[in-house]
């Protein structure tokens, strides 16, 4: 085989190999993307917010810390909605975020969980 034919054959083989590698990279990226999106959907489901509603209290104090002596940072009226962070709540206090975006703690006995 002449050098010219050999060179062309090598170039064709390199192009074919490059195409195969590129196709494999694209395929792997697609699979990884599908796995990530599936993972995101699961995470989103797990982090579904818990909504509470202020009841049996005309104005509920939102405190900086989960104790009666803690600073009151806001007051929210009866029937206000709050998003509850159960992971940071205690036995007697809910960690909440108000509709105005204020984060703090409210006594559990004045908040009912919405279904």
17 and 63 in a common domain: no
66 and 82 in a common domain: yes
Q: What is the extent of the structural domain holding 67? A: 50-113
Do residues 113 and 96 make contact, with C-beta atoms less than 8 angstroms apart? no
Task: Check pLDDT > 50 for residue 48.
Answer: yes
82 and 33 in a common domain: no
103 and 92 in a common domain: yes
Number of domains in the chain: 2
For residue 80, what is the domain's CATH number?
A: 2.30.30.40
The alpha carbon of residue 9 and the mean position of all alpha carbons in its chain are separated, in whole angstroms, by 53
Q: How confident is the model at residue 3 (pLDDT cuts 50, 70, 90)?
A: low
89 and 73 in a common domain: yes
Look at 39-48, 61-70, 93-102, 105-114 and tell me which has the smallest mean pLDDT: 39-48
108 and 80 in a common domain: yes
End-to-end, the C-alpha distance of the chain in Å comes to 79
Rounded to an integer, what distance in angstroms lies between the CA atom of residue 62 and that of residue 72? 6
Position 95 scores a pLDDT of 98
107 and 67 in a common domain: yes
70 and 43 in a common domain: no
69 and 100 in a common domain: yes
The order of strands in the sheet holding 81-85 is 72-77, 59-63, 103-107, 93-98, 81-85, 50-54, 111-113
């Amino acid at each position: 085989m002449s050098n010219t034919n050999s060179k062309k054959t090598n170039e064709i083989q390199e192009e074919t190999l490059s195409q195969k590698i590129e196709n494999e990279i694209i395929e792997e990226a697609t699979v990884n993307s599908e796995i990530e999106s599936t993972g995101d959907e699961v995470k989103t489901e797990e982090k579904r917010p818990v909504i509470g509603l202020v009841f049996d209290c005309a104005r509920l104090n939102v405190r900086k810390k989960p104790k009666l002596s803690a600073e009151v940072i806001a007051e929210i009226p009866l029937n206000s909605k709050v998003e509850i962070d159960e992971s940071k709540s205690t036995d007697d206090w809910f960690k909440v975020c108000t509709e105005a975006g204020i984060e703090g703690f409210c006594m559990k006995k004045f908040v009912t969980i919405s279904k």
